[in-house]
Amino acid sequence: MTRVRYIADSMTEAITAARRHHGMGVRIVHAGARRTGAFGRALSFEVVIEAATRTSQARRAAREAMARAVMVGRLAADEANASLAAMTTGPACAAVMARLGARLRAQSLPTSLVDHVLGQVGAELQSAAADEIELMAQAAAVNAVAALLPVAAAHTPRRADVAGRPWIIAIAGPTGVGKTTTLAKLAAEWRVARGLRVGLLAADSFRVGAVEQLRTYGSIIGAEVRAANGATSAREALAALAGCDVVLVDTPGRGHRDVGRIGEIASVLTALRPDETYLVLPGSASARTLEESSDAFAPIGATHVVLSKLDESEGLGALIGAVRRGGTPTSWFTTGQEVPDDIEHADAHAFARRLLAEPSVVETKF
């Protein structure tokens, strides 16, 4: 190794000169200011480097040339792809696709699904005329997003035979997702609109006011209510509701990280043997919380998912990710607190239109 000194009017110039002659990876062993001239009044800067042998210099230069060539190649490929896209779709189509991608990401749709939707829409727009792009893109996006959400109609309870067993539906999920309100909406629909004999089983006797809340709903719609605490008393309460056509079971809310207590809910459901179990996932939760909830409540053996609080959601795409993660189809949507209103059968296209709708802006003047 040979040491070489570079002196310049500024430190930047000295380092630049050293790197220009010996490569960007040159080893600097000293850098500092130095005074020269009479009485040391002139200020300059020096950089001392260790210069490699000619062979090492040649290898380094070859590596740097290769790296530059690769970078230039990538930039050329990107420019070629961009030019091809512009020639194929035109600026109007590119703008529509950009807005669609931004909307999907704003709705917290997983990245892989955003790419899938954009690919589907892009394929549909290959032959679109300029004046059709907006409408075709919207229709294609709705279809693509709707195809991502698994939907299955839940069983519609009917009047049981005299000696028949009630149709049992358990409703479970994390704390505060709207389980009891969802139960009340379903109970009102089947009791008032269909005239079925509805029973309500409160397995959530730990939460303050839970049983009283259910008794209030029951008294309003004329439904019989029983309370239970544990698997044994749940079976006894269910036996007392044997004369009903349908029994709705309100389970305790548990945090999605409270694995032990979620296991207790699963034990109660095993004792009751429900015909259907609804897992309630709220639109107001984050993508991470929804995914963790889907995983945590797997032991309850959900047959359907209820997507609640859609009116409060700022990221409907996260619900799609959670439903697909759990592999259980949706059956109901809830969109508010009103009982018996604000509940509807799951419709993938309606969900997609809600997700893709531009947010309304309210202007306030002072």
Domain CATH code at residue 180: 3.40.50.300
Beta-ladder partners of 168: 247
Q: H/E element holding 356? A: helix 348-356
Higher pLDDT, 117 or 192: 117
- 154 lies in some domain: no
Instruction: Work out the mean pLDDT of the chain and round it to a whole number.
Output: 81
- 249 lies in some domain: yes
Q: What is the pLDDT of residues 206-215, one digit of tens each?
A: 565 668 888 8
Q: What is the pLDDT of residues 125-178, one digit of tens each?
A: 887 777 788 889 999 999 999 999 999 977 778 776 655 689 999 999 888 888
88 and 117, same domain (yes or no): yes
Residue 87 has pLDDT above 50, yes or no: no
Q: What residues contact 239, with CB distance under 8 A and at least 6 apart?
A: none
190 and 303, same domain (yes or no): yes
**Cβ–Cβ < 8 Å for 354, 334:** no
| Count of the separate structural domains present in the chain | 3
> Token pair of 178, please?
């709207």
288 and 314, same domain (yes or no): yes
195 and 318, same domain (yes or no): yes
Longest CA span, the chain? 116
- 302 lies in some domain: yes
Report the Cα–Cα distance between both ends of the chain, in Å, rounded.
74
Q: What is the pLDDT of residues 273-331, one digit of tens each?
A: 999 999 999 998 888 999 988 888 888 899 999 999 998 887 899 999 999 999 999 99
45 and 76, same domain (yes or no): no
- Domain extent at residue 324: 167-356
248 and 346, same domain (yes or no): yes
- 238 lies in some domain: yes
Among 333, 336, 286, smallest CA distance to 311 is for 336
Last residue of a domain, one of 146, 177, 212: 146
Q: What is the CA radius of gyration of the chain?
A: 33
Question: What is residue 346's predicted lDDT score, i.e. its pLDDT?
Answer: 94
3-class SS of residue 6: strand
Model pTM above 0.85? no
Q: What percent of the chain has pLDDT over 70?
A: 79
> Token pair of 129, please?
């005329």
31 and 65, same domain (yes or no): no
10 and 114, same domain (yes or no): no
123 and 175, same domain (yes or no): no
